[in-house]
């Protein structure tokens, strides 16, 4: 069964550094999402992406964050200048419609 | 903005016991409702979903959920749990026409053999 994959599984970075988290969607999926879960807290929506543009974003998704599909397959989340509070599990999700979302295994980001 | 409440944070059951996990949401319009499960060391998987129609929906692995519109609830049930059901369960909603899932805080289910 096809699955969403994410790399790396764990990323450790220094505060102020830029990180790029990568997601490979299921092949026929057109809708892409990023969520995050800070330890001990709820899973929170960050952004949705469709037809090469952001379709919806949350208050968390400020100028520090950006998303793109650089090569038509990978879907990336860039965090420009990481802060301690960005430490979290980041989940990519993809779907064929705007309703059902299939999640990847997540990338654990640790900012030191 | 919508919100989702899961009242049970940690549930411990013996095998063959019945399960009911509560989920309530707050939102004034129509919503699509979901239950996701996360087994230890695995990613979030869709257990079942409700968009419209019969308010009693059946999912994988013998799970079912009932949407009660008047109570803004979408409780998850299973008549007889197994040790393999040990996992974290998340209720989530999307207002119709939107893209962002809003999750509850999750319920950790531990099934003892």
State pLDDT tens for residues B8-39: 899 999 999 999 999 999 998 889 999 999 99
Give the 3-state secondary structure of residue B96.
Answer: coil
Determine which of A59, A103, A104, A107 to mutate to test the interface with B (most B C-beta atoms within 10 Å): A103
Give the 3-state secondary structure of residue A3.
Answer: coil
Cβ–Cβ contact B30 with A under 8 A: no
| pLDDT at residue B1 is higher than 80 | no
Give the C-alpha separation, B2 to B31, whole Å: 10
Give the C-alpha separation, A63 to A105, whole Å: 26
Give the C-alpha separation, B95 to B102, whole Å: 9
Peptide bond between residue B54 and the one before it cis (omega within 30 degrees of 0) = no
Q: Are A98 and B99 in contact (CB < 8 Å)?
A: yes
On chain A, the residues whose CB falls within 8 A of the CB of B49 are: 99-100
Residue A84 to chain B, least CA–CA distance (Å): 22
Q: Which residue of B has its CA nearest to A3?
A: B43
Residue found under tokens 């520090």: A64
**What pLDDT is attached to residue A84?**
97
Region for B53 from its dihedrals, namely left if φ exceeds 0, alpha if ψ lies in -120 to 50, beta otherwise: left
Residue found under tokens 């899973």: A43
Per-residue tokens: B105? 């805080």
**What pLDDT is attached to residue B66?**
97
State pLDDT tens for residues B86-97: 999 999 999 888
CB pairs under 8 A between A and B: 52
State pLDDT tens for residues A9-54: 999 999 999 999 999 999 889 899 999 999 989 999 999 999 889 9
State pLDDT tens for residues B40-60: 988 899 999 999 999 999 999
What percent of chain A is helix, strand and coil (3-state, nearest 5)?
5, 50, 45
Residue found under tokens 């049930």: B77
Q: Are A106 and B43 in contact (CB < 8 Å)?
A: yes
Q: Are A43 and B90 in contact (CB < 8 Å)?
A: yes
The answer to whether A9 and A104 are in contact (CB under 8 A) is no
The answer to whether B43 and A105 are in contact (CB under 8 A) is yes
Per-residue tokens: B70? 């008047």
Q: Which residue of B has its CA nearest to A5?
A: B43
Q: Are B51 and A99 in contact (CB < 8 Å)?
A: yes
Interacting residues of A72 by C-beta distance below 8 A, sequence separation 6+: none
């Amino acid at each position: 069964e096809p699955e969403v994959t994410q790399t790396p599984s764990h990323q450790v970075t220094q505060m102020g550094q830029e990180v790029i988290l990568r997601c490979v969607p299921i092949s026929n999926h057109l809708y892409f999402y990023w969520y995050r879960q800070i330890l001990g807290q709820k899973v929170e929506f960050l952004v949705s992406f469709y037809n090469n543009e952001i379709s919806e974003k949350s208050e968390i998704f400020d100028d520090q964050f950006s998303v793109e599909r650089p090569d038509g397959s990978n879907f990336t989340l860039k965090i420009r200048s990481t802060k301690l509070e960005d430490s979290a599990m980041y989940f990519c999700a993809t779907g064929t419609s705007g309703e059902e979302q299939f999640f990847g295994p997540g990338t654990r980001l640790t900012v030191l | 903005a919508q919100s989702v409440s899961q009242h049970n944070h940690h549930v411990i059951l013996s095998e063959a016991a019945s399960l009911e996990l509560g989920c309530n949401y707050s939102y004034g319009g129509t919503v699509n409702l979901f239950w996701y499960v996360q087994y230890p060391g695995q990613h979030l998987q869709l257990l079942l979903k409700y968009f419209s129609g019969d308010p009693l929906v059946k999912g994988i692995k013998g799970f079912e959920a009932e949407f009660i519109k008047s109570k803004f609830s979408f409780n998850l049930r299973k008549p007889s749990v197994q040790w393999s059901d040990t996992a974290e369960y998340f209720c989530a909603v999307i207002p119709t026409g939107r893209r962002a899932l809003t999750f509850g805080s999750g319920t950790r289910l531990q099934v003892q053999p």
